[in-house]
Structure 1
Amino acid sequence: MFLRRIVLSLAVGLASPLLLGACGSSNGTGSDSAAPVAPAASDPGAATPSATSPSATSAAGDSGSAGTGQAATTTGVTAEALNGIGSVVADDQGLTLYRYDKDESDPSKWTCSGACTKTWVPVIVGDSVQTTGVEKSLLGTVHRNGLKQLTLAGWPLYRYSGDTAAEQANGQGKDDEWYAVAPSGQKAAETG
């Protein structure tokens, strides 16, 4: 009887993470109009976060959206006009997306990892992304510890944890390295 309880407890303990992981893996788009994302760039020399874990949060870069511990997943991107900045790319929640100047040496690789991802959350995508006002051919992905980080014109994309609502760009020009991304993949115009 005691051995049966141990085996049953072990089975439940092993099955629980698998069931929980399956619950969070659906992108829920259900749309036939989604644009396929280009295959991920091969990046064997890309920087890797110091801590690795099988969880989506750790694989995305050790942190989550606005400190919530959730990976920054998105199913769509849209071009939007923001006062003082011009046209920028926003995710499916209307949050402004950013690019990082330190990715410049090879923008198909990401350099923000560890503590950086607590402020600048990598944008993780599934197999397809819907677009409005953003050229589909400019979208792609780069591998990030088993997940796909969305890229635009080769630049890995991030959300800023200081943007708490749609149409904010509080990260624009932050540390002279972070800029809202325009639909072309270029830096959005600086605010006046």
Structure 2
Amino acid sequence: MRNFVAKRMSARARLAAGAGSAFGVALLVAACSTGSSGTAAAGSSSPAGASSSSAAAGGSGSTVITTVSSSAGTFLANSSGHAVYLWTKDSNGMSACSGACAGAWPPVTTTGTVTASGEAKSSDLSTITRSDGTKQVTYDGHPLYFFSGDSGPGMASGQGNDGFGAKWWLVSPSGSDVTSAVSAFTMSGSGTSPAPAATPTSSSAGGGWS
């Protein structure tokens, strides 16, 4: 009788031990699974963060100053073919154009690097900080501007303008002002002719320039 009871108790003990082991294994598997999920989630956040950083870097706003050609010679423009100008009222490398002037003659600004293309010289490119904190591109010490009256690439309707009390001129690759009349121009070496420019005017009427 004692042997029978002992055998029954032994069987129950083994069953309980087996159940306990199975439960322990289940807990271990669950823990490992949870740990793996946490690792995967943490790992998946890294590429997203890297992508955000890359996107921010890609939107840095770099500016290219290149050259365009006309019957009057070669002068500066941005990479989209919009003419850029200097203002003879500026002095000591600083801009004297603000308020309404800057509305009619938007400064060429950048939030990234400034590079030269065509016959433009990298050594002549720099920036100054305007009163609003923006960086304005300069060339050979001249702050550069667009003209709001130029409605698209290939236009130089600001050439010879005397708005706001001084002349506005296109800029040659040497940094000097271009004073000849310009009716139309093309991107250097492109062989394509943008829309003809309007004749020089003292008006500062609005238009697209970016």
Return the structure number with greater helix share.
2
1:167 aligns with 2:154: yes
Contact kept? 2:109, 2:137, Cα under 8 Å:
yes
Counterpart residue number, 2:76: 89
Q: Given that residues 100 and 179 in structure 1 are in contact (C-alpha distance below 8 angstroms), is that contact kept between their aligned partners in structure 2?
A: yes
Q: Deviations over 1:74-109 (max 9, x none)?
A: 6211111123x3111011211000000000x32x11
CA distance in 2, matches of 1:180, 1:27: 32
Are residues 1:180 and 2:170 paired? Answer: yes
Match among 120, 129, 132 for residue 143 of structure 1: 129
TM-score normalised by length of structure 2: 0.54
Structure 1: runs of 5+ lacking an equivalent? 1-24, 31-72
**Corresponding position: 1:75 with 2:63:** yes
The separation in 2 between residues aligned to 1:118 and 1:150, in whole angstroms, is 17
Unaligned runs of 5+ in 2: 1-54, 183-210
CA distance in 1, matches of 2:167, 2:134: 24
TM-score normalised according to structure 1 size: 0.58
> Superposed, which structure 2 residues align to 1:86-165 within 5 Å?
86-103=73-90, 105-106=91-92, 108-132=93-117, 133-144=119-130, 145-165=132-152
Q: How many residues are aligned here?
A: 124
Aligned-partner Cα distance in 2 for 1:147–1:80: 26
The structure having more radius of gyration, on CA atoms, is: 2
Quote the RMSD (CA, aligned, Å): 2.4
Return the alpha-carbon distance in structure 2 between the equivalents of residues 122 and 155 of structure 1. Answer: 11
Distance (whole Å) between structure 2 residues aligned to residue 189 and residue 27 of structure 1? 39
1:126 CA drift (Å):
2.5
Q: Among all aligned residue pairs of Structure 1 and Structure 2, give the percentage whose two residues are the same amino acid.
A: 36
- Using CA pairs under 8 Å that are at least 6 residues apart, name the structure with larger relative contact order, 1 or 2: 1
Runs of 4+ in 1 over 3 A off after TM superposition: 25-30
Tell me the equivalent position of 1:55: none
